[in-house]
Amino acid sequence: MFITYGNLRGEAMIQQPASGRVIRRKIPYPRVFLLGGGTILILAALTYYVIRGSQPPAPAKYLSAPVRIGSLSETDSATGEVVPGNTFTVSTPANATLQQLNVHYGQQVASGTVLATFSDPALASEVASQEATVLNDQNQVSELASPIYTASQQAALAQLRDNLSQAQAQWTADKSAGTVMAPTTGTLSQILPVGSIVNQGQTVATISGKNIPAPLSGTVQSVNAETGAFVHAASPLLVLSSPQLTAKVLGDESQIANIQSQLDKAELQDSPAQLSTQLAQARAQLQRNQETLTQEQQALAGLTVKAPFSGQIVSLNTSSGTGKLLTLDSASLMVSVPIPETQINAIHTNQRVAVSLPALPGQATTGQVQTIAPVGTYSNGVSTYPVSIALSDPAGIRYGMTAQVSIVVKSVQHAMLVPLAAIHSKGSHNFVQTLGPNNQLTRVPVHIILENATQAAVKSRKLSPSSHVVTATLTSTSGKLHLKAKGRALHHKGPKGKKGGKGGKGGL
């Protein structure tokens, strides 16, 4: 079947293939109008775009930002738990009993408050005994160190030495009392033989006609010269002995031995060197006993337990007479956060940090790094190091809350700052485009010092605070109206440049 639209009267010419007969049918007028109107609209649109394409393109428009001088910092973030800055636990001492408890659960206490008092009678007795021992040691040290004591000891030594000298002189005199000496020089004409018994005053020898009397009564024990011999004055002639003289000599010798023993003992104990040694030993003994006394006194004082810091009683157990009695948590708070091994070297003590708490939206505080664990914890191929941060303002913050910590790990001051969207990368090189007169673009190489999520600190010889850098295109040269961001932060097809930090902040 064939249909032909060549009839201006709105008739359709239909020819049947079998019979070849042509049938005329009328087309409804509304369809004719619709077909004609559509054709006219299509032709008009084509004409509009042809005419517009022949017009000159609209100038490009750009979004730009000024180069600023300011500071920029890179931060590391971590999440941790709020914990007490200090915890103090009180337990019942061994052999002691609770005498008085001065606090209750949940009570806020100030530093120095007496929390509890214990009693230990045995310890109190030991302290009293040790105090007496120390007092005795102190008296001994004072005596040994006293100049009067030293002088008296030296005087006693001198007296013993004098007594020994006198005893030795007496022994010498008594020993020689029975010896008869020649009073003059001459020829010995007579001398009594050994064994002769004589009385005191009896003649025992004659020299050159001069008789020599016996000094005492006794027996001739020995003769030192013969009759007819020539003797000299003061030479011994003979020796007399008697029981009385022997007893006296033996008494002298005993006295000498006794005095010598006393002197040896005194010199051993009271000589300057020995006194110095005794003083050193006494002082050492005093120090040992004082240390023992100090420990016992501290243990006794420890029976009165005081709060070492201000805080709150968070646990209390009075049901048992032994073990933990109470726990005091400090009013100061800390946040313990795990820092990865790749970032721990950028953390140091006394470093300032920013702290926020999800439980307290809108309330931010600051903190300071207090301790860094020297040993890390290994898990899933990464080691982390616990870092404790003391909160500067713990008002409204409770134990166990989650805290988000931002730590500044790197910063620059007085640097040129540009939006990160203005930076382009080509290979290992970075550049920005500055906007000049008549929307002229100039490519300026830059070196990135530091960057965060929104801006970067850069160095460039051709960039100044008066420059404006392009961050996006508002209108293209094709005349189409659109917003196209420039720079690697929002639009980037080239190789990746320097990776930025986790977060950061910047400002003038």
Percent of the chain with pLDDT over 90: 50
Percent of the chain with pLDDT over 70: 82
Instruction: Give the tens place of pLDDT for each residue, 358-413.
Output: 999 888 889 999 999 999 999 888 899 999 999 988 888 888 899 999 888 888 99
Instruction: Give the tens place of pLDDT for each residue, 335-355.
Output: 999 988 988 888 889 988 999
> For position 394, what pLDDT does the model report?
82
According to DSSP, residue 478 is labeled: T
Question: Minimum mean pLDDT among 123-137, 179-193, 432-446: which range?
Answer: 432-446
Do the strands 304-306 and 68-84 form a parallel or antiparallel pair, or are they unpaired?
Answer: unpaired
* pLDDT, greater one: 58 or 151: 151
From the candidate CATH numbers 3.40.190.10, 3.90.420.10, 3.40.800.10, 2.40.30.170, the one assigned to the domain spanning 332-485: 2.40.30.170
- Taking residues 411-418, what's their average pLDDT? 92
Q: Give the three-class secondary structure for 192.
A: coil
- Count CA within 13 A, CB hemisphere, residue 34: 5
User: Residue 6 pLDDT more than 90?
Assistant: no
The C-alpha atoms of residue 302 and residue 118 are separated, in whole angstroms, by: 8
The C-alpha atoms of residue 290 and residue 130 are separated, in whole angstroms, by: 8
Compute φ and ψ for 338, nearest 5 degrees.
-90, 130
Q: Give the three-class secondary structure for 400.
A: coil
Contact 329, 84 (CB under 8 A): yes
User: Residue 18 pLDDT more than 60?
Assistant: no
- Taking residues 16-24, what's their average pLDDT? 56
According to DSSP, residue 437 is labeled: G
Contact 437, 505 (CB under 8 A): no
Instruction: Give the tens place of pLDDT for each residue, 112-132.
Output: 999 999 999 999 999 999 999
Residue with tokens 């708490």, as numbered in its chain: 357
Say which residues have a Cβ less than 8 Å from residue 467's Cβ, sequence separation at least 6.
66, 67, 434, 444
User: Residue 24 pLDDT more than 70?
Assistant: no
User: Angle, to 10 degrees, between the axis of helix 272-301 and the axis of helix 121-145?
Assistant: 160
Question: Can you give 17-32 as a three-state secondary structure string?
Answer: CCCCCEEEEECCHHHH
Cα 35 → chain centroid? 94
> For position 262, what pLDDT does the model report?
85
> For position 108, what pLDDT does the model report?
92
The C-alpha atoms of residue 479 and residue 465 are separated, in whole angstroms, by: 32
- Taking residues 290-300, what's their average pLDDT? 93
> For position 448, what pLDDT does the model report?
93
The C-alpha atoms of residue 130 and residue 395 are separated, in whole angstroms, by: 49
Instruction: Give the tens place of pLDDT for each residue, 79-92.
Output: 999 999 899 999 98
Instruction: Give the tens place of pLDDT for each residue, 193-233.
Output: 999 999 999 999 999 889 999 999 999 999 999 999 999 99
According to DSSP, residue 346 is labeled: G
DSSP run (H or E) holding 301: helix 272-301
User: Angle, to 10 degrees, between the axis of helix 243-270 and the axis of helix 147-175?
Assistant: 160
User: Residue 498 pLDDT more than 50?
Assistant: no
> For position 446, what pLDDT does the model report?
94
Quote the tokens at residue 372: 């860094």
User: Residue 245 pLDDT more than 80?
Assistant: yes
Contact 180, 220 (CB under 8 A): no
Quote the tokens at residue 337: 């956060």
Among 458, 347, 470, 329, CA closest to 397: 329
> For position 4, what pLDDT does the model report?
46
10 Å CB burial of residue 328 (0-12, 13-18, 19+) is buried
- 85, 167, 334, 396 from 403: Cα distances, Å: 15, 96, 10, 13
Query: Considering Cα of 169, then 171, then 177, then 183, what sign does the dihedral take?
Result: negative
Tell me the domain boundaries of the chain: 87-112+308-329, 332-485
Among 438, 384, 348, 473, CA closest to 63: 473
User: Residue 440 pLDDT more than 90?
Assistant: no
The C-alpha atoms of residue 127 and residue 195 are separated, in whole angstroms, by: 79
The C-alpha atoms of residue 25 and residue 8 are separated, in whole angstroms, by: 12
The C-alpha atoms of residue 367 and residue 394 are separated, in whole angstroms, by: 10
According to DSSP, residue 303 is labeled: T
Say which residues have a Cβ less than 8 Å from residue 336's Cβ, sequence separation at least 6.
80, 81, 83, 386, 387, 388, 389
Question: Minimum mean pLDDT among 180-184, 407-411, 472-476: which range?
Answer: 472-476
Cα 101 → chain centroid? 34
